[in-house]
A and B are shown apart, each in its own frame.
Chain A
Amino acid sequence: MKEQLHALEKEALQKVGDATSLKELQDVRVAYLGKKGPITEVLRGMGKLSKEERPIIGELANKVRGNIADAIDSKKASIEAAELEKQLEEETIDVTLPGRPVPTGGPHLLTSIVEEIEDLFIGMGFEVREGPEVETDYYNFEALNLPKGHPARDMQDSFYITEEILMRTHTSPVQARTMNAMEDKRPVKMICPGKVYRRDTDDATHSHQFTQIEGLYVDKNVRMSDLKGVLDRFAKQMFGQEREIRLRPSFFPFTEPSVEMDISCKVCNGEGCSVCKQTGWIEILGAGMVHPRVLEMAGYDPKVYSGFAFGMGPERIAMLKYGVDDIRHFYTNDIRFLKQYHQA
């Protein structure tokens, strides 16, 4: 019987080895390990054996059975693995084909610049204020120390609607409006972005509509050195930590002293190049200490309060920062231009 079992084992293992599918393997299992299989048959004939032989043959039979079962299991695992492999092979795709597009949009470059500046000043405790684009002569000029007939009105030829109503020529009226609206004459610390309009013929450097951001801080003991410190922080965050600023005298009717702020040229690092016209400096914005007449007209006592104000043009900043070469790009909305600034 021993020989019979060994022969069966050999024969079964051979068939397991030859099996190529789960089905064949199952057939082998049924054929050798099934209730009607030869091993069961052998075990059934054990009654004829001696007492001594019985446990030996029994043990051997179980061992053979176990070996065959192990062989089937391991073969099964390898066939399954091969089949999965095959399935995965068949499922392979060309990952280099284009994906399904998701529509992408984005903010206008001017919005990105304006929001960046808003966030920067919000970080320094400023609020954001807005005001009307169609203004009264009073707020656009008179409340800003520009009485009728003042020669400085020539600096900004305006679009009038009636003698008293015009398209605002700057965002500065929001200064006056904000201060006037403060009934308790609290400190004011605000910036105001918005559209402004001037009688200019549109060309590469002029636009009859453009954007401005105005800033105003009025409080007790506001010093010009505070203006310098705030502008320095703005310039460094906006244009890079290595940028230097300088203030130089200028004139605006609503500030005294008035200054213009330059930053050291990024292209040549102040050495002088064609971008900065060999001066090493690039003009960024106008600023100054709020004129006492402006404070007074807005109901703030200039003996008690002082303040600073500044104003800048996001178009100019965008042109400097990104090298945009024509201001009209901001208003033609060429989708190819807009998309250049949609990336983070």
Chain B
Amino acid sequence: MFVSLNWLKNYVDIDQLSPEDLAERITKSGIEVEGLEHFASPANNVVVGYVESCEKHPNADKLNLCQVNVGDETLQIICGAPNIAQGQKVAVAKPGAILPGNFKIKKAKLRGVESNGMICSLQELGVEEKFVPKEFASGIFVFPEDAEIGADVNELLNLDDIIIELGLTPNRSDALSMLGVAYEVAAILDVPIRLPQANYHSNDEEIEKQVSVKVDAVEQNPYYGAFLLKNVKVGSSPLWLRNYLMAAGIRPINNVVDITNYVLLEYGQPLHAFDFDKFGSNEVVVRMANEGEKLVTLDDQERTLTNEHLVITNGKEPVALAGVMGGADSEVSEQTTTVLLEAAYFDGQTVRKASKDFDLRSEASNRFEKGVDPNRVKQAGERACQLLQQYAGATVLNGVAEYDQLDYSEKTVTIWTSTINDRLGTNISDADIADILRKLNFNHNQDGETFTVYAPTRRQDIVIFEDMLEEVARIYGYDNLPFTLPSGGAQAGGLTKQQALKRHVKRFLEGAGLSETVTYSLTSKERATELVSPEVAEAMVSSVSLAMPMSEEHSTLRLSILPEMLSSVAYNLARKQANVAYYELGSIFISKEEKVTKQPEEKVRLAGALTGEWLTHPWQQEKKTVDFFVVKGIIEALFETLNLDVTFVQAKVEGMHPGRTAQLFVADQAIGFVGQVHPQLQKDYDLKETFVFDIDFDYILSIHANEPSFAKIPRYPSVTRDIALVVDESVQAGALQATIAQAGGELVKDIQVFDVYQGEHLAEGKKSIAFSLFYQDPERTLTDKEVESSYQAILDAVANDHNAELRG
């Protein structure tokens, strides 16, 4: 809402404060002021001039040579505007004037003829073009005849006005009117308010004999009032009214339209003027539209209606879409002489539905949607009649044809000083409360500390105690609330074990060299199904898509963090950032239904992607790029810190390199995978060799229960034995290791692979894997015999299970 301070001054005195201070006060106690701007920049030395003569410039076809009386002198001015004419009153910038943009007016010679000033357009005086009335849009501005020659234009054109923009929250629709703003400012500044009077003389023709009103949808339209005005002369509005409309951001059209707009802004009540001669009957019937009924609206669009849309009809066909837009057929034009003026209360939700369905948001629909003040509906019609009588020469018929089932009652809210203080933490007195209610102009009865407040109908937002609590608090001033801390018993805040574990995992991975990402949960439908971990693929039925996505790219809930993460990797590669190591902890969304009827299951996953160089030390000729074992090493170390045994099993996962992928298991539960992205998919994503992992973190959270206990530090020496085994190349190290652990018995504390060899000195299809075995007994020194017997048992077992031979 744009509020002209010059306009506002008609209702409340605000001159005691600078506009900035006023804005600050309104922001702190009422409604946020989002902007404060000059309507135009005030001009100096620009006055009203009378064009005494206007002749063609002797040396230029498109220029005119004018003699302009500016009161104390007559200036010869050359003007190029097409609409300049003798007898006009115009805005003259005299030599020495400075116009917006620091444009200095000087005496000059144009094509050999002297010009002493400039005749101005509104744009040249700093008015935004979109607000300039169309008749003056491409030429100079012409004052009404009664403008005083030599008068300063600043005041006449309202150039010195300041506009504040209010950021209205949905509850404060009362401030969608100048009167609402005036009440607000009056309360904040504690100044009286002056309300406009709607006085007009009606003739003795009874409207009821000319027009009837019938409403067939009381819920949607509890009040409909029709005024009839004859002998209307459509023309320009008075200057002051046009100025106010422009200041409020509305372009003046003609007096009838301008007056309905002016009243809309002043009272917050939308009105509609029909050309009664084109109305098509003398009965107004308001009803729900018939399915498929058509109406051509003012913007010349044909609208197809449904039975959820409320229409004004002439008893036969729709003439207006209630509260949203009038029909083209009955539009007021230059030729209009009889106006049927509608002042009605339309239900907000009904108007909202229509304005949404037809994408027609207007000043009118906005106000109806938020709820207008019942007590101002008819008043606004009367105010418009007064202005039309005054400025369009209208004869107003006696009375109003109306249908009235509107609820005008004020809501009562009871408040108690003690409860207010309990809720605010303040020490406000009964007298303070009474004073605040007086400032707000709220009627009330006081009985000690109990106040019965009658919330005025303009404030539809005040219904319950808390609404009044807010009114009291804001007028009392939030700055005046003390700072306290909760008096309730001290609670022990803190992270849950699972939250703490999440942080542990993050810090571990960061220490291991990974950077955390945050990627989008919404991905494309295609990507949503890529790189889905086997256990997720098994659990889900279908991916979940938005009903109305903004774009295909972000239309479907992710089933893996990886696709969006890989897009981020590609983003970096495209910017010459070749080394990327990422991890992310985030939710995926598993639906077990073909068609979604309930929320999908949300599972926290731990994913990562690594590409490029890992460890490089160029001057020592060391260069390590990321490979499977870099990523596996990080995962192994992570699980070690979690005290969980994880096993890696060769596996095929869709989208992954078939020979370089392992599925992860913890206690026989599949919990994810690690490996290289399939070269084809790498290409699709514009990636180089990239390794990823994706782990069911919720499962880890659910089984993690590590409570470290003390174990004695061994005092007895350990014994190391190395063993190199020759096996078929298809035998996996993990399988050998498992056999060794099994056969070696309790004394084998650790088994490490220290060499893998294939080639010379070994038969074709054979490889050698060497292990270091660490033997230890915490209670005593081991004997050679014990170690030897375990060693022999291992040799027998691997020979038996894997056909392994000791390498000679």
CB-based closest 8 A-B pairs: A103-B513, A225-B425, A251-B169, A257-B470, A223-B425, A333-B568, A247-B478, A256-B466
Against A, the Cβ 8 Å flags (1 = close, 0 = not) of B547-571 are 1111000100100000001001001
Query: How far does the alpha carbon of A339 sit from the alpha carbon of B582 in the complex, in Å?
Result: 11
Contact A228 B494 (CB under 8 A): no
A-contacting 9-mer, from B526-534, B591-599, B716-724:
B591-599
Which of B467, B496, B517 lies in contact with A108, CB distance below 8 A?
Answer: B517
Contact B602 A162 (CB under 8 A): no
Given contacts A107-B516, A122-B493, contact A224 B473 (CB under 8 A): yes
Which of B171, B484, B580, B615 lies in contact with A223, CB distance below 8 A?
Answer: B484
> Which residue of A is nearest B475, CB measured?
A249
Which of B171, B490, B510, B572 lies in contact with A251, CB distance below 8 A?
Answer: B171
CB-defined contacts of B513 to chain A, threshold 8 Å: 102-105
> Which residue of B is nearest A107, CB measured?
B516
Q: In angstroms, how far is the closest chain A Cβ from the Cβ of B257?
A: 27
CB-defined contacts of B565 to chain A, threshold 8 Å: 333
Instruction: For the A-B complex with A104-B513, A108-B518, A199-B548 known, give 19 more contacts whose Cβ atoms are closer than 8 Å.
Output: A105-B514, A115-B503, A125-B486, A151-B369, A151-B370, A162-B547, A167-B521, A189-B488, A219-B486, A223-B484, A225-B482, A226-B486, A246-B478, A248-B32, A249-B30, A292-B465, A331-B519, A333-B568, A335-B515
Contact B493 A125 (CB under 8 A): yes
Residues of A within 8 A of B (CB): 97-98, 100-108, 110-111, 115, 118, 121-128, 132-136, 149, 151-152, 154-155, 159-162, 165, 167, 187, 189, 195, 197, 199-201, 208-209, 217, 219-226, 228-230, 232-233, 246-251, 256-260, 279, 289, 291-292, 306, 330-336, 338-339, 342
Q: In angstroms, how far is the closest chain B Cβ from the Cβ of A170?
A: 15
Which of A189, A230, A338 lies in contact with B515, CB distance below 8 A?
Answer: A338
CB-defined contacts of B616 to chain A, threshold 8 Å: 101
Contact B487 A258 (CB under 8 A): no
User: Could you tell me the dominant secondary structure of chain A's interface residues?
Assistant: mixed
Which of B577, B587, B589, B622 lies in contact with A335, CB distance below 8 A?
Answer: B577
Contact A292 B466 (CB under 8 A): yes
Which of B484, B521, B583 lies in contact with A133, CB distance below 8 A?
Answer: B521
Q: List 12 A-B contacts (CB under 8 A).
A: A124-B485, A125-B486, A162-B596, A197-B521, A209-B522, A221-B422, A221-B487, A226-B485, A229-B486, A232-B483, A257-B466, A258-B169
Given contacts A289-B466, A330-B518, contact A122 B597 (CB under 8 A): no
Determine which residue in B491, B496, B545, B572 has the highest number of CB atoms from chain A within 10 A of its CB, and name it. B491
> Which residue of B is nearest A292, CB measured?
B466
CB-defined contacts of B572 to chain A, threshold 8 Å: 333-335
Given contacts A223-B423, A229-B484, A292-B464, contact A135 B518 (CB under 8 A): no
CB-defined contacts of B485 to chain A, threshold 8 Å: 124, 226, 229-230, 233
Contact A124 B602 (CB under 8 A): no
Query: How far does the alpha carbon of A136 sit from the alpha carbon of B596 in the complex, in Å?
Result: 12
Contact A132 B546 (CB under 8 A): no
- Does B195 interact with chain A (Cβ within 8 Å)? no
CB-defined contacts of A165 to chain B, threshold 8 Å: 596, 598-599
Query: How far does the alpha carbon of A241 sit from the alpha carbon of B546 in the complex, in Å?
Result: 45
- Does B741 interact with chain A (Cβ within 8 Å)? no
Query: How far does the alpha carbon of A207 sit from the alpha carbon of B520 in the complex, in Å?
Result: 10
Given contacts A108-B518, A132-B599, contact A334 B571 (CB under 8 A): yes
Query: How far does the alpha carbon of A97 sit from the alpha carbon of B620 in the complex, in Å?
Result: 10
Contact A98 B619 (CB under 8 A): yes
Contact A257 B517 (CB under 8 A): no
Q: In angstroms, how far is the closest chain B Cβ from the Cβ of A269?
A: 17
Contact A134 B170 (CB under 8 A): no
Contact A149 B474 (CB under 8 A): no
CB-defined contacts of A154 to chain B, threshold 8 Å: 170
- Does B106 interact with chain A (Cβ within 8 Å)? no
CB-defined contacts of B596 to chain A, threshold 8 Å: 161-162, 165
Question: Count the A-B residue pairs with Cβ separation under 8 angstroms: how many?
Answer: 255
Contact B599 A105 (CB under 8 A): no
Determine which residue in A217, A222, A335 has the highest number of CB atoms from chain B within 10 A of its CB, and name it. A335
Residues of B within 8 A of A (CB): 24, 27-32, 169-172, 348-349, 352, 369-370, 422-426, 464-467, 469-470, 473-474, 478-479, 481-488, 490-496, 499, 503, 506, 509-522, 544-550, 554, 557, 565, 568, 571-572, 575, 577, 579-583, 586-587, 589, 596-600, 602, 614-617, 619-620, 622
Contact B544 A161 (CB under 8 A): yes
CB-defined contacts of B492 to chain A, threshold 8 Å: 125
Determine which residue in B484, B509, B614 has the highest number of CB atoms from chain A within 10 A of its CB, and name it. B484
Which of A103, A110, A121 lies in contact with B512, CB distance below 8 A?
Answer: A103
Contact A257 B473 (CB under 8 A): yes
CB-defined contacts of A292 to chain B, threshold 8 Å: 464-466
Q: In angstroms, how far is the closest chain B Cβ from the Cβ of A260?
A: 7
Contact B424 A338 (CB under 8 A): no
Query: How far does the alpha carbon of A225 sit from the alpha carbon of B491 in the complex, in Å?
Result: 19
CB-defined contacts of A132 to chain B, threshold 8 Å: 599, 602
Given contacts A161-B546, A223-B424, A249-B29, contact A257 B511 (CB under 8 A): no
Contact B615 A101 (CB under 8 A): yes
> Which residue of B is nearest A121, CB measured?
B493
CB-defined contacts of B515 to chain A, threshold 8 Å: 105-106, 108, 335, 338-339, 342
Contact A225 B466 (CB under 8 A): no
CB-defined contacts of B619 to chain A, threshold 8 Å: 97-98
Query: How far does the alpha carbon of A94 sit from the alpha carbon of B9 in the complex, in Å?
Result: 80
Query: How far does the alpha carbon of A330 sit from the alpha carbon of B519 in the complex, in Å?
Result: 9
CB-defined contacts of A229 to chain B, threshold 8 Å: 482-486
> Which residue of B is nearest A339, CB measured?
B515
CB-defined contacts of B426 to chain A, threshold 8 Å: 225
Contact A128 B499 (CB under 8 A): yes
Determine which residue in B493, B494, B587, B597 has the highest number of CB atoms from chain A within 10 A of its CB, and name it. B493
Query: How far does the alpha carbon of A27 sit from the alpha carbon of B596 in the complex, in Å?
Result: 98
> Which residue of A is nearest B620, CB measured?
A100
CB-defined contacts of B474 to chain A, threshold 8 Å: 249, 257
Q: In angstroms, how far is the closest chain A Cβ from the Cβ of B427?
A: 10
Contact A105 B170 (CB under 8 A): no
Contact B467 A256 (CB under 8 A): yes
CB-defined contacts of B521 to chain A, threshold 8 Å: 133, 167, 195, 197, 209
Determine which residue in A127, A224, A291 has the highest number of CB atoms from chain B within 10 A of its CB, and name it. A224
Q: In angstroms, how far is the closest chain A Cβ from the Cβ of B595?
A: 9
CB-defined contacts of A339 to chain B, threshold 8 Å: 515
Query: How far does the alpha carbon of A219 sit from the alpha carbon of B602 in the complex, in Å?
Result: 31
Which of A220, A225, A230, A338 lies in contact with B517, CB distance below 8 A?
Answer: A338
Given contacts A209-B520, A332-B571, A335-B580, contact A225 B483 (CB under 8 A): yes
Contact B550 A225 (CB under 8 A): no
CB-defined contacts of A133 to chain B, threshold 8 Å: 521, 587, 589, 602
Which of A103, A108, A189, A197 lies in contact with B493, CB distance below 8 A?
Answer: A189
Contact B494 A105 (CB under 8 A): no
> Which residue of B is nearest A223, CB measured?
B425
Q: In angstroms, how far is the closest chain A Cβ from the Cβ of B65?
A: 47
> Which residue of B is nearest A293, CB measured?
B464
> Which residue of B is nearest A288, CB measured?
B470
> Which residue of A is nearest B494, CB measured?
A122
> Which residue of B is nearest A195, CB measured?
B521
> Which residue of B is nearest A225, CB measured?
B425
Query: How far does the alpha carbon of A89 sit from the alpha carbon of B579 in the complex, in Å?
Result: 39
CB-defined contacts of A105 to chain B, threshold 8 Å: 509-516, 581, 583
CB-defined contacts of B598 to chain A, threshold 8 Å: 165
Given contacts A107-B506, A118-B495, A223-B422, contact A228 B484 (CB under 8 A): yes
